[in-house]
Structure 1
Amino acid sequence: MGVIAAVLFGIAFFLNGTKTSTDVWFSPTSLMLAGLCCLALHLLGVGTGWYSRRR
């Protein structure tokens, strides 16, 4: 999830820097919010890797 957030932030930064006109769902702001959501999930521990069950 952390890597996905970094990629979304990178794409949003590129689109914002080049002033590329895009749809509402693919705007830099929506990508930033999706990246923040992925970052929050990563900090909660979702998608961080393997875990083992204790018996």
Structure 2
Amino acid sequence: MLAILSAVLFFVSFLINAADISTNDTFTSTNVMLLGLTALALHVAGIGSGWSWRRR
């Protein structure tokens, strides 16, 4: 789930950068890209991956 979120954030970041959209200081393409990297790192770490490891 977080991998899909990070892909969407990367795409939004690309659109902001490619279209040269003027945004405020909080919603820049770099900040959106860093949010995507954070979501991707959490996914790689196993958080939000959808797997439930239970012991019997």
* TM-score over 0.5 for the pair: yes
Q: Give the share of equivalent positions with the same residue, in percent.
A: 45
Q: TM-score, normalised by structure 1?
A: 0.92
Once superposed, which parts of structure 1, at least 4 consecutive aligned residues long, lie more than 6 Å away?
none
CA RMSD of aligned residues (A): 0.9
TM-score between the two structures when normalised by the length of structure 2 = 0.90
Offset of 1:23 from its aligned partner? 1.0
Q: Where in structure 2 are the equivalents of 1:1-55 lying within 5 Å? A: 1-55=2-56
User: How many equivalent residue pairs?
Assistant: 55
Where do 5+ consecutive residues of structure 2 fail to align? none
Cα drift, residue 46 of structure 1: 0.5
